[in-house]
Chains A and B, each alone.
Chain A
């Protein structure tokens, strides 16, 4: 067929091209020849084999046999099978086992077929399988380890970042607290930073020492709790949200406009 078509095409070319001496014609003919040469099965197969060999994917017959066998052994008889249909007419349903209900064993699958080709004793597993299994296990362990390390790192960094953010927020909150308090005429609040330098400069030094010696309840709290306490104070007294960065005129405004009393709620 191919060669026929090739010939026909060549004929058409012959009729169209008049200048028999032109290079174009020669070039055309040579390309026609190569196209019209019948690609036989043998050639195609040889080519395919060559390519497979190059890429290292040629399988020995034994391997092909094994694969077809394994595939066959894995595939259940389909419902279209004549025998399936005949058994179904006797009351069999897919997934059922045969025999009376009190049969000692109910068997659904045929006995597995294993080919033993060596002289290894009982209890000694196939070394190749062991090797394969071991390497698989090792691979899995390695991946697990790496994943864990990654997780650890991520968590560590998250923690660090969160701490940093917390401390920054806390600082901002305390400063803001003092600022707003003072605007309202509040003179003193344990939420403020103990203004060391200022007191030492402004005061005679005694109260500062006292303050330093007796840490307040607030000072002993965890930074996260400190932040929570200051936030609540700011919100209730000043209708101020640290993360919105503004003081609302009323408590209602705060409740309606501000997404929440944590940093996370403002992240979204």
Chain B
């Protein structure tokens, strides 16, 4: 089949090129004031360029895209770019792209693929001539922003003009943009309005090995789009060597391997399993510092608490050793790294190691203790030793009890390999695995589970439906999720009235798909005008979409809790968040006010920004922005009712035995310690059900049984409700309601 299709496809490509390229070419000839220098340069024919031609433009006097002369800084960077491993294979890459619709590119970190490949494509495609652009997806927002910034510098253009980025709640592009770095989620969103991605002449899916939910869905979509848009070029880039799976998925697409700039890494295993991996990690750090050559250490641990604990222990141990033998042991700089750390502190990982204490003395060492963000997303130069206890926090979703949590789990062999690779970035390194070789081979799974198997699919199903995919059962998933996960998503969307019983998108569903939010939030937002509180619901949702705004330093817990208590609303955490937001706005985002009140200004700023974006969508959609007068008794009640309209499936009932049971699933849960409800209300809605040491529900607000029956009669259909105390209580309410009605 593929063989028959191919020649036809090529012919079509040629036709479209002829049609479009020639008039566009003429247009530029007439209008382009930079013709003088262009005449000296070769003509770039899309899909027929060579590296020589492209390099001629890169070395020219003026910038092809802006027409301005290149700056000296550009030329300096260009020299470095030419040294990147990927540069040597530019011709090879172009040839593959010219002859294939989809290619798979494998390049280890440091090969320069993320910054260079999209630029190669820009010169080859000349998307600006067709009024199109090139998209390069990134799993993380930070990466999309920072890479775009870097590439803008490399192309000597200003960020947001020819090179831009687009992430949720932030679009930094212009009509002149030819290369757009974006999160995979954003491209998926765009596909909802542009199902064939016709804005783009080429799409690069970077970091595909990370297998994020959006990348997985995008791959499925793009596979379909490729059949209908033969002119679309696709490059799937991965950092690990398991490219076979990608090749197979894209009908045996060709593979280009770009060697990374890495050095050999020696791997050491422990002879026996470790009783306590944290202790073992600290011990190994001390051993390396006292016995091994200079070179920085990277330790992988699972979370903030553990990392801070380890940092403390390492500092204490090494201090005592230095006191004992100051002549032979050098200074250390111990740096923690985890995502909730403010950026300024995250930057400390790039600090230089401390110098020798006296001339000729033992060298200092930098020790970075990090979560798995240092595994792929952040590269720290100078690391020579890696310590890998073999664990990381991984998201897990279980549809049966509807719990979504970050749980400490063993990493995969692929992950372990990635971690050890971090030791060989600057020179040959060593990796200490705190488990036996047998455990590595026997107890670790080959690959980390892709995200699609580990998370709730509510949003994705809504998006797929909006994209017009009706048959979810046979959708071409690279790794199909468990059927029950899909059932839960369909169930949620049906009760939220986004899908009808046949799984078709309703008008409500159409509206919901417009918001880059979880379906429950969308529903609460759409219901809020009815309850006269859309302004307030917007603020609450914005607060929940931003990172947690409460700061609680270990040594100032009491003060932090006291500060938080000023904002606490007795009826629920959602209202507490609203109070914080209102206070923040009334103080005009004052930094010292935030600091004094143990609030994270960055996340509040972020919430404010998110809110602005959401307001725009509301306005575009013609949804009313209203508030109940604050003096009204109904002010908070209305807000709670609107929240109930979105979260009626995340309800817990206080049993007479004193603990909460989640509705229908009957899971025993407790209010999270951060919860401000002190009187244990009978009914609560919750934002999350998480597992830590206990079953916790987080961000809870008290609601009334009557509201549940009123807001979601389909879900609270008592005929089909599992027999439990909550059902009996609701039945009593229902009888009372019907009696009252009769009386009237």
Q: Which positions in A face B, CB cutoff 8 Å? A: 41, 45, 61-62, 64-65, 68-69, 72-77, 80-87, 89-92, 96-100, 103-111, 113-117, 119-124
| A113 partner residues in chain B, CB cutoff 8 A | 396, 398, 403, 405, 407, 691
Contact with A along B368-403 (1 / 0, CB 8 A): 000000000000000000000111000011111101
Q: Is the CB of B490 within 8 A of A82?
A: yes
Q: Is the CB of B278 within 8 A of A119?
A: yes
* Chain A residue with Cβ nearest B269: A123
Residue in contact with B273 in the complex, picked from A69, A98, A124, CB distance below 8 Å: A124
Residue in contact with A121 in the complex, picked from B275, B399, B476, B499, CB distance below 8 Å: B275
Q: Can you identify 8 A-B contacts, CB atoms within 8 angstroms?
A: A68-B668, A76-B400, A83-B486, A86-B499, A111-B398, A111-B454, A114-B409, A123-B439
* Chain A residue with Cβ nearest B401: A72
- Given A62-B694, A122-B435, A123-B443, answer yes or no on A76-B275 (Cβ-Cβ < 8 Å): no
Q: Which positions in B face A, CB cutoff 8 Å? A: 245, 248-249, 270, 273-280, 389-391, 396-401, 403, 405, 407-410, 434-436, 438-440, 442-444, 449, 453-454, 470-492, 494-495, 499, 501-503, 656-657, 659, 665-670, 691, 693-695, 720
B500 to chain A, nearest CB (A): 9
Q: Is the CB of B273 within 8 A of A99?
A: no
| B470 partner residues in chain A, CB cutoff 8 A | 90
Residue in contact with B275 in the complex, picked from A82, A87, A115, A124, CB distance below 8 Å: A124
| A107 partner residues in chain B, CB cutoff 8 A | 453, 479-482
B165 to chain A, nearest CB (A): 32
| B403 partner residues in chain A, CB cutoff 8 A | 113
- Given A100-B476, A114-B409, A121-B276, answer yes or no on A69-B401 (Cβ-Cβ < 8 Å): yes
B477 to chain A, nearest CB (A): 4
| A90 partner residues in chain B, CB cutoff 8 A | 470-473, 503
B245 to chain A, nearest CB (A): 6
- Given A75-B400, A83-B491, A90-B471, answer yes or no on A106-B480 (Cβ-Cβ < 8 Å): yes
- A121–B491 CA distance with the chains assembled, in angstroms: 39
- Given A83-B491, A110-B482, A121-B434, answer yes or no on A77-B476 (Cβ-Cβ < 8 Å): no
- A96–B398 CA distance with the chains assembled, in angstroms: 18
- A69–B401 CA distance with the chains assembled, in angstroms: 7
| B276 partner residues in chain A, CB cutoff 8 A | 119-121
| A73 partner residues in chain B, CB cutoff 8 A | 398, 400-401
| B487 partner residues in chain A, CB cutoff 8 A | 77, 81, 83-84, 86-87
| A69 partner residues in chain B, CB cutoff 8 A | 401, 667-668, 691, 695
Q: Is the CB of B391 within 8 A of A122?
A: yes
- Given A65-B694, A99-B476, answer yes or no on A76-B435 (Cβ-Cβ < 8 Å): no
Q: Is the CB of B400 within 8 A of A122?
A: no
Residue in contact with A108 in the complex, picked from B249, B409, B435, B482, CB distance below 8 Å: B482
- A123–B433 CA distance with the chains assembled, in angstroms: 12
Residue in contact with B399 in the complex, picked from A77, A120, A122, CB distance below 8 Å: A77
Nearest first, the 7 A-B pairs at minimum CB distance are A123-B439, A99-B480, A121-B274, A83-B487, A83-B491, A124-B273, A123-B273
- A80–B407 CA distance with the chains assembled, in angstroms: 31
- Given A110-B482, A120-B274, answer yes or no on A86-B400 (Cβ-Cβ < 8 Å): no
Q: Is the CB of B277 within 8 A of A87?
A: no
| A86 partner residues in chain B, CB cutoff 8 A | 487, 490-491, 494, 499, 501-503
Residue in contact with B398 in the complex, picked from A99, A110, A124, CB distance below 8 Å: A110
| A41 partner residues in chain B, CB cutoff 8 A | 656
Q: Is the CB of B409 within 8 A of A104?
A: no
Given A103-B477, A107-B482, 14 further pairs, Cβ under 8 A: A62-B694, A64-B659, A69-B401, A72-B666, A81-B491, A82-B494, A83-B489, A89-B502, A98-B473, A110-B399, A116-B408, A119-B276, A122-B434, A123-B435
- Given A110-B398, A114-B407, A116-B407, answer yes or no on A121-B277 (Cβ-Cβ < 8 Å): yes
- A120–B454 CA distance with the chains assembled, in angstroms: 24
Q: Is the CB of A87 within 8 A of B407?
A: no
- A69–B400 CA distance with the chains assembled, in angstroms: 10
Residue in contact with A98 in the complex, picked from B275, B439, B472, B667, CB distance below 8 Å: B472
A82 to chain B, nearest CB (A): 5
Q: Is the CB of A119 within 8 A of B478?
A: no
Q: Is the CB of A99 within 8 A of B477?
A: yes
| B485 partner residues in chain A, CB cutoff 8 A | 110
- A90–B397 CA distance with the chains assembled, in angstroms: 23
A37 to chain B, nearest CB (A): 20
A164 to chain B, nearest CB (A): 57
- Given A104-B478, A116-B407, answer yes or no on A121-B668 (Cβ-Cβ < 8 Å): no
Q: Is the CB of A117 within 8 A of B473?
A: no
B703 to chain A, nearest CB (A): 22
A268 to chain B, nearest CB (A): 56
B715 to chain A, nearest CB (A): 9
Q: Is the CB of B390 within 8 A of A87?
A: no
* Of listed A99, A120, A123, A124, residue having the most chain B CB within 10 A: A123
B436 to chain A, nearest CB (A): 5
Q: Is the CB of A123 within 8 A of B436?
A: yes
Residue in contact with A105 in the complex, picked from B480, B667, B691, CB distance below 8 Å: B480
Q: Is the CB of A92 within 8 A of B483?
A: yes
- Given A90-B472, A90-B503, A122-B390, answer yes or no on A77-B438 (Cβ-Cβ < 8 Å): no
- A91–B482 CA distance with the chains assembled, in angstroms: 15
| A116 partner residues in chain B, CB cutoff 8 A | 391, 407-409
B238 to chain A, nearest CB (A): 15
- A105–B391 CA distance with the chains assembled, in angstroms: 24
Q: Is the CB of A77 within 8 A of B436?
A: no
- A80–B280 CA distance with the chains assembled, in angstroms: 50
- A41–B280 CA distance with the chains assembled, in angstroms: 53
| A75 partner residues in chain B, CB cutoff 8 A | 400
| A87 partner residues in chain B, CB cutoff 8 A | 472-473, 483, 486-487, 490
Q: Is the CB of A111 within 8 A of B400?
A: no
* Chain B residue with Cβ nearest A121: B274
| B503 partner residues in chain A, CB cutoff 8 A | 86, 89-90
Q: Is the CB of A111 within 8 A of B482?
A: yes
- A107–B478 CA distance with the chains assembled, in angstroms: 12
* Chain B residue with Cβ nearest A61: B659
| B439 partner residues in chain A, CB cutoff 8 A | 122-123
| B400 partner residues in chain A, CB cutoff 8 A | 72-77, 110
* Chain B residue with Cβ nearest A41: B656
| B273 partner residues in chain A, CB cutoff 8 A | 120-124
Residue in contact with A77 in the complex, picked from B408, B471, B488, CB distance below 8 Å: B488
- A110–B457 CA distance with the chains assembled, in angstroms: 13
- A120–B410 CA distance with the chains assembled, in angstroms: 11
* Chain A residue with Cβ nearest B248: A104
A126 to chain B, nearest CB (A): 12
A56 to chain B, nearest CB (A): 19
Q: Is the CB of B473 within 8 A of A119?
A: no
* Chain B residue with Cβ nearest A80: B720
Q: Is the CB of A122 within 8 A of B443?
A: yes
* Chain A residue with Cβ nearest B488: A83
- A99–B477 CA distance with the chains assembled, in angstroms: 5
* Chain B residue with Cβ nearest A124: B273
| A114 partner residues in chain B, CB cutoff 8 A | 407, 409
Q: Is the CB of B396 within 8 A of A68?
A: no
- A253–B277 CA distance with the chains assembled, in angstroms: 87
- A83–B440 CA distance with the chains assembled, in angstroms: 39
* Chain A residue with Cβ nearest B434: A121
- A100–B478 CA distance with the chains assembled, in angstroms: 9
| B481 partner residues in chain A, CB cutoff 8 A | 98, 107
| A84 partner residues in chain B, CB cutoff 8 A | 487
Residue in contact with A82 in the complex, picked from B475, B495, B694, CB distance below 8 Å: B495
- A117–B477 CA distance with the chains assembled, in angstroms: 34
- A89–B407 CA distance with the chains assembled, in angstroms: 34
Q: Is the CB of A99 within 8 A of B409?
A: no
| B691 partner residues in chain A, CB cutoff 8 A | 69, 113, 115
| B434 partner residues in chain A, CB cutoff 8 A | 121-122
| B670 partner residues in chain A, CB cutoff 8 A | 61, 65
- A120–B656 CA distance with the chains assembled, in angstroms: 38
Residue in contact with A68 in the complex, picked from B249, B389, B478, B666, CB distance below 8 Å: B666
